Amino acid sequence: MKAVGVVVEYNPFHNGHLFHIKEALSQTRSDVAIAVMSGFFLQRGEPAIVSKWSRTKMALTSHVDIVVELPYVFAVQKAEIFATGAVALLNELGCSSIFFGSENGDPDAFVQTATYMLQHQQALNQEVKKQVSSGMSYPSAMTKAFSIITNGEHTLDLSKPNNILGFHYVKTILENDFQMKPVTVKRLSSEYHDTLLPEMSGNIASATSIRKSIIEKGVLSDSSFFLPESSVKELNEYMGTFGLWHSPEHYFSFLKYNLQTMDIEELQEIYEVEEGLEHRVKKVIQKAGSFLEYMDLLKTKRYTWTRLQRMNTHILTRTKKAVVHQLLTETHPRYIRLLGMTKKGQAYLAKKKKELRIPLITKIGSLSNPSLHLDIKAGQVYSAPLHEPARTGLTEAEYSLSPLRYDEDNGLFLRH
């Protein structure tokens, strides 16, 4: 069986994702689609709108055959580390190709650019450091350094979010000599950061605009047109069970508590609290009455919203620099956490299981690992805004829930 891999967040799973996964299977002529999906907190430092279990259900009912979790230590990270962890997991699972959306849409452009940059890595790193020291944010510094080093010879725009991720996917493949073919498709209709639902014809909108509509209005009526029926069903069921769709504002009181009770020395130990930011957050939190107000006061030209939002998530989870730095000495994940599979996915894993070089986890109790402990803690923090008994239910699911199994022939989830 041939497998294609995708790196996803599905926050939530929408029609653009459905198009993407169908194209992935079709263009690569694969039998199985494997998704590496971020868990409770995402690459931009946001909490997922619904739990990883609900998003796994959305994926399995929409042509994804296997869903595995990208560990927290890789998921809530800048693009380079995020991509390294995700691509390594897809390689471990035997994917012959990786399929991703991009603003460019030409796989050769990614291969050529990544090859060139690997050949000039030292010069690039020096130029990035130079631009950052001048007060530029890291993403802007990377874009400018790339332009300077290449002298305009390459046309891949690394200021675009999906191009950036695609570049790092391909760079990881080349660096590690993975036997995985990169395939990309040009993003349709909406841009990644679009905040408004489109008014013209077409049923594809950005996940950002869908989330904004859902959370601000508290209903699915406007956004349901842009979602598969299974996603609408799962979102409604989640609200019925847990009473909310998660947003950064739900965590503001917990963030404020942490910031007000941690001293400067404790804050300095938190991952991504650098260059005196501990003093700035201590000052700003006293003035802010909401997460949005806090972020507006905190943001500067040097630090992007995304960079600061990730830092705040690490403050929420009290994730220390020493722990992350130690875990990242092993540049690839050391286990595969299986969240769900279809019957076809289960058949694929049965054939591949003996070839795996790292443990495939189906129950948390089967492995003790510092990275897994971070995943568990992230789940506990994620459940904090929920009322009992929902909070306990979601927390205990981490220990008690086996991978979800979906019978795609009958459209049913199997009891486990």
Return binding residues for ATP.
Answer: 7-20, 101, 162, 187
Distance CA 169, CA 181 (A): 11
- Backbone Cα Rg of the chain: 21
Supply φ then ψ for residue 346, to 5 degrees: -65, -40
Distance CA 245, CA 195 (A): 17
Residue showing tokens 């990881």: 172
Q: Is the peptide bond preceding residue 107 cis, with omega within 30 degrees of 0?
A: no
Binding residues: 7-20, 101, 162, 187
Distance CA 72, CA 76 (A): 6
Tokens of 78: 């800048």
According to DSSP, the residues that pair with 37 across neighbouring strands are 8, 69
According to DSSP, the residues that pair with 336 across neighbouring strands are 360
Concatenate the DSSP letters of all residues of 51-71 into one string. Answer: -HHHHHHHHHTTT--EEEEEP
Distance CA 378, CA 279 (A): 25
Concatenate the DSSP letters of all residues of 310-330 into one string. Answer: HHHHHHHTT-BHHHHHHHTTS
According to DSSP, the residues that pair with 407 across neighbouring strands are 412
Answer whether 305's CB lies under 8 Å from 295's CB. Answer: yes
Distance CA 304, CA 285 (A): 18
Inter-CA distances, 407 with 52, 64, 68, 182, Å: 19, 12, 18, 30
According to DSSP, the residues that pair with 186 across neighbouring strands are 102
Answer whether 336's CB lies under 8 Å from 68's CB. Answer: yes
